[in-house]
Structure 1
Amino acid sequence: MLILLAQWLEQFVDPGFNVFSYLTMRAIMSTLTALLIAILMGPRVIRYLQTMQIGQTVRDDGPKSHLSKSGTPTMGGVLILAAILISTLLWADLSNKYVWVTIGIIVSYGIIGFVDDYRKVIRKDSKGLIARWKFFWQSTVAIVVAFYLYATSQDPNETAMIIPFFKEVMPQLGLFFVVVVYFVVVGTSNAVNLTDGLDGLAIVPTILVAGAFAIFAYVTGNVNFSAYLNIPHLPLTSELAVVCTAIVGAGLGFLWFNTYPAQVFMGDVGSLSLGGALGILAVLVRQELVLVIMGGVFVMEALSVILQVGSFKLRGQRIFRMAPIHHHYELKGWPEPRVIVRFWIISIILVLIGLATLKLR
């Protein structure tokens, strides 16, 4: 939106306003805008949630240290979404279809999460949105987006699978592209949701992965960098850097209030939408496999639940003391901050490995 204003000011007022048309400047401004919105609106949102008694409910069978979290305001994800959307609408090129696809996923999954939170917190329905209906709506949105991207693709690279660390291995997916999009978006959304169990545990890996995808989007959309790095050149992806940096800024602003001991939790409205956003960003920049690497913490959390449930159903035994795996370490006696920071460190290492795939090919 502000691109048009910058272009008008450049033409009629001062050529210096052209600086706000540059992608790098808009990405920086997107980060700062989202950050300021989250930090400035955070206290008001928290007070409103407290006034409305929208507090977190804690499982009785969970770690006893979590009992003190009961009543902490939740659904703070609306703050993250607002900051992301406002910043993106201000600084991104709104003629870019990839921007709207990402916004569509964020809003759609945010609505699904909001309904789930509303039923659990406001209507006091402990089950929230029934799991099969949550999965149904997540699947419906993902499939619609997948078919849209497949139907509107004009470059074979848009549906090719990039294999990390290999230069020439880029198999064409064809219609299987739809299946890949479905599993990446839905799987990442639920993985981030499972990770969101400790103060700041989910938001920092999200910030790190989104920041890395900003780099991927920038180099993929730049003809010179993409040629140098021997990755497919997809011009539309460069604008996603603005969306990624908006996620980074909103996440940092939310972390200001979500760090241990948390003043607010994001709830499903935040975790489902952020997970969906990371999933669709990975698809659009053609780095689904790199997402598995950089989002290794999310993968680990999701796998721990799958293994725990599978083992209990098949053998009647549990592998972990409790799943997701961050609760396992809590029950082993690790203080919550230790679990959180160590998972953050793992995320930093995995994101650096993911970024290394750009050069090590």
Structure 2
Amino acid sequence: MRGIFVAGGVALALSILLTPYLIRFFARQGFGQEIRADGPKSHQTKRGTPTMGGVAILISIWVGYLVAHLLTGEPMSASALLVLFLTTALGLVGFIDDFLKLRRKRNLGLNKTSKIVGQVLTATVFGILALRFANERNLTPASEYLSFIRDITVLGFGAIGFVLLCNLIIAAWSNGVNLTDGLDGLAAGTSAMVLASYVIIGFWQFRNACSISAAAGCYEVRDPLDVAIVASAAMGACIGFLWWNAAPARIFMGDTGSLALGGLLAGLSIVTKTELLLLVIGGVFVVETLSVALQILVFRTTRRRLFRMAPFHHHFELAGWAETTVIIRFWLLAAMCAALGLGIFYSEWLAASAGG
């Protein structure tokens, strides 16, 4: 428990303190955001705002996690390190994308093929390794089954199928957070709420792990407490970054941050066996992604637009809502989704406990 508080506190403090240095450094280097020409006209005033702030998030997550282990003396786990690998590798893909955008002075970085290759390689390595590193109870960081709150044993994919499933989940969530990162603080604030949910889920799974308690409803997961420490560090990093990223933003996280956070959420869902539950907890990201898919589908079918602009948050901006109004209301929706997801998680545990 102490490690969770230490990781979150250290990451929060470092993120708040480190981000202004990055703002000044990136500003001196001319690393200013390029704004898409077809976006809302009000966003053109944001041109030149320093980007790649996801660097501060990644550094803060790692430092928070490492300091927590140094102070508690607990060993680092395979599950947590795999999630951190996934987060960092996707953050590197996003960093390259951001850097190319800045170098070319336009809102085009890596082409689609290069970005997909980076995501596929990262997800494939993660998927392969997640089925290894069995502990003394023969539990690996992930299982070959699709999960809601526990494994759905009729939905087993085998090793190859699981790796393909990892690619689908990781691509969906990394792109989902990336699409949501279009308003000041929207992605960071929403991510912080989802991560807070995973702090609770990881700690609850630890308290009720089958290795500790053989009671009905216990969880067959590996390293849940260490996973909660990673989630806590990431939550603290997002909140600290939000101090500078809230409207009007002094810095943007860029693809460096959004791809990393999307990968982090996907990884947390896989190692806690809650892949389908994340669809509820991260409902705002799901809606944002669906809005883009529906916009494309409807336009290609009817040549008409379903929304004024996609992702969904731009629709409300063009409808006359102030940017801060859209952000706060989406944060409220994110909080409700997180609360609903945690309610479902706890209700399932009550039912499983009573059923035993």
TM-score normalised per structure 1:
0.88
1:1-20 CA-partner distances (Å, limit 9, x unpaired): xxxxxxxxxxxxxxxxxxxx
The equivalent residue for 2:319 is 332
| Counterpart position of 2:354 | none
Which residue matches 1:134?
115
Output the CA distance in 2 between the equivalents of 1:228 and 1:316.
Answer: 57
Q: Is the partner of 2:251 in helix, strand or coil?
A: coil
- In the other structure, the counterpart of 1:159 is 144
- Post-superposition Cα deviations, 1:108-155, rounded to whole Å, max 9, x if no partner, equal 001100000000013325421001210111011101211221244533
Question: Which amino acid is 2:114 matched to?
Answer: W
Matched, 1:149 2:126: no
CA distance in 1, matches of 2:239, 2:216: 30
Q: 2:27: which partner in 1?
A: 50
Contact 1:221 1:233 in 2 (8 A): no
Q: Does residue 258 of structure 1 match 2:258?
A: no
Specify whether residues 101 and 169 from structure 1 end up closer, same or farther in structure 2 by C-alpha distance, changes over 3 A only: closer
Q: How far did residue 312 of structure 1 move? A: 1.8
Which ranges in structure 1 are unaligned for 5 or more consecutive residues? Answer: 1-23
- Give the Cα separation in 1 of the matches to 2:213 and 2:163: 25
Spell out structure 1 runs of 4+ moving beyond 3 A: 92-95, 151-164, 167-172, 224-229
For residues 38-68 of structure 1, give each alpha carbon's deviation from its aligned partner in whole angstroms, at most 9, with x where no partner exists. 1111211111111111111112221121111
Q: Retained in 1: the 8 A contact 2:200–2:228?
A: yes
Distance change in 2, residues 1:229/1:142 (3 Å): farther
> Residue by residue, what CA displacement relative to the aligned partner does 1:298-338 show, whole Å, maximum 9, x if unpaired?
01111111111122222222111111010011001011011
Unaligned runs of 5+ in 2: 349-356
Given the alignment of the two structures, is residue 70 of structure 1 paired with residue 47 of structure 2, yes or no? Answer: yes
Aligned pair count reads: 336
Q: Which residue of 2 aligns with 1:61?
A: 38
Match of 1:193 among 160, 173, 178: 178
| Inter-CA distance 66–231: structure 2 relative to 1 (3 Å threshold) | farther
Deviation sequence 1:150-173 (CA, Å, 0-9, x none): 244533883343335xx8954352
User: Match of 2:169, SS?
Assistant: helix
321 and 102 in structure 1: CA distance in 2 versus 1, 3 angstrom threshold: same
Aligned mate of 2:16, from 39, 43, 46: 39
Q: Aligned letter for 1:155? A: L
**Cα distance per residue 1:64-89 (max 9 Å; x no partner):** 21111111111111011111111112
Opposite residue 201 of structure 1, the aligned amino acid is L
**Alignment correspondent of 2:353:** none
CA RMSD of aligned residues (A): 2.0
The 1:306/1:356 distance shift into structure 2, 3 A limit, reads same
Verify the 8 A CA contact 1:158 1:234 in the aligned structure 2. Answer: no
**1:89 counterpart = 2:74:** no
Partner of 2:270: 283
How much does 1:228 deviate? 6.0
Residue of structure 1 aligned with 2:82, choices 78, 101, 124: 101
Tell me which of 231, 245, 261 is aligned to 1:274.
261
> What is the TM-score of this pair, normalised by structure 2?
0.89
Whether the 8 Å CA contact 1:163–1:170 is kept in 2: the answer is no
